[in-house]
């Protein structure tokens, strides 16, 4: 099995063993994480992925707030399109138009050959589904994953939406996926470890008799789409690199009703559950603060959590 970054990376696929090294205690022969202080963000065109973990200053957090808020507003707008009969391509068009009208660009468009402005993953699709001509149907659940780049900063977030009345099992899964993400986020504070995030997610999913997809993970973000460190959705407490104030990354667990195994479709992008069970995912971009964490991608309308009445949104 291999780990790949959750948001559209196909070429960077280090083995799961290397991630276990990163998520272990600092023993002889194991990789020791290094950190880079970035008190003033460089020009966006010069930003590069590094193996070291970046520690950002206040200007970076301000940039992430703007980019995250814009992405959240875009996902708020998507809610009005989630209804029986909507082609997924219509969601893609909306994201394109929204980004253009706000001076931003979709990070996924043209990324590693990806042809769309967002990802739309329905029912048993785990992630990276294409927003094509397929139409939403009553009782579908769909994840919409959007990353907008504003002034060089990447706001990355995804949400689950239900078309009409979902089945009880689907509704339960969506709530579990959101709570799993939030438990991971609530584990974030200076002095904690990356393994604490994965442990919080994994233990809650197991408690609810669901499984955590291990083939994908969160990632550092900021002026680079995918940066260090990897944020695994499973792990052991008190292991892995230390969380420090100024880190910025995504938390984005994918939770299955059935087994955790996934299969890649022939398009080499779309991942589906091998047993065809339902899958759900939520994602936020967050920063580590002196007090704990800051979520950059919360909905200004409060639409980021399950339980939103889309009928009211459509009215």
- Cα(293)–Cα(286) distance, integer angstroms: 7
The pLDDT of residue 313 is 54
Sequence ranges of the binding site: 128, 145, 156, 219, 226, 252, 283
Q: Which residues of the chain have pLDDT under 70?
A: 1-32, 45, 307-315
The pLDDT of residue 71 is 99
The pLDDT of residue 18 is 27
| Relative orientation angle of helices 168-186 and 194-207, to the nearest 10 degrees | 150
The pLDDT of residue 301 is 87
The pLDDT of residue 308 is 54
The pLDDT of residue 307 is 64
- Cα(75)–Cα(77) distance, integer angstroms: 5
Torsion 240-245-249-250 (CA) sign: positive
Sequence ranges of the binding site for a divalent metal cation: 145, 156, 219, 252, 283
The pLDDT of residue 39 is 77
Sequence ranges of the binding site for substrate: 128, 226
Residues 296 and 287: beta-carbon distance below 8 Å: yes
Quick one: CATH architecture of 4-10+22-41+59-314?
A: Alpha-Beta Complex (3.90)
Closest CA to 240 of 277, 274, 196: 196
Q: What ranges do the domains of the chain cover?
A: 4-10+22-41+59-314
């Amino acid at each position: 099995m291999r780990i790949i970054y959750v948001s559209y990376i196909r070429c960077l696929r280090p083995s799961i063993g290397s991630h276990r090294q990163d998520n272990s205690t600092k023993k002889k022969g194991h990789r020791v994480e290094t950190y880079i202080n970035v008190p003033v963000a460089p020009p966006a065109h010069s930003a590069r992925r590094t193996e070291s973990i970046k520690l950002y200053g206040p200007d970076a957090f301000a940039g992430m707030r703007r980019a995250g808020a814009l992405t959240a507003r875009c996902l708020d707008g998507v809610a009005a399109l989630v209804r029986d009969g909507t082609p997924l391509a219509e969601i893609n068009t909306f994201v394109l138009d929204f980004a253009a009208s706000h001076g931003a660009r979709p990070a996924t468009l043209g990324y590693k050959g990806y042809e769309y402005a967002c990802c739309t993953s329905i029912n048993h699709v785990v992630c990276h589904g294409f927003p094509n001509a397929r139409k939403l149907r009553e009782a579908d659940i769909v994840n919409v994953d959007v990353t907008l780049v504003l002034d060089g900063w990447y706001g990355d977030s995804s949400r689950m939406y239900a078309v009409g009345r979902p089945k009880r099992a689907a509704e339960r899964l969506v709530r579990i996926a959101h709570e799993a993400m939030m438990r991971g986020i609530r584990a974030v504070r200076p002095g904690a470890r990356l393994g604490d995030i994965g442990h919080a997610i994994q233990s809650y999913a197991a408690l609810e008799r669901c499984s955590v997809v291990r083939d994908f993970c969160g990632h550092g973000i900021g002026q680079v789409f995918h940066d260090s460190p990897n944020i695994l959705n499973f792990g052991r407490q008190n292991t892995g690199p230390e969380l420090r104030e100024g880190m910025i990354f995504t938390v984005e667990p994918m939770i299955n009703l059935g087994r955790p195994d996934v299969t890649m479709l022939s398009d080499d992008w779309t991942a589906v559950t091998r047993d065809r069970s339902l899958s759900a995912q939520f994602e936020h971009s967050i920063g580590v603060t002196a007090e704990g964490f800051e979520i950059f991608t919360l909905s200004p309308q409060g639409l980021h959590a399950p339980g939103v009445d889309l009928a009211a949104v459509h009215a």
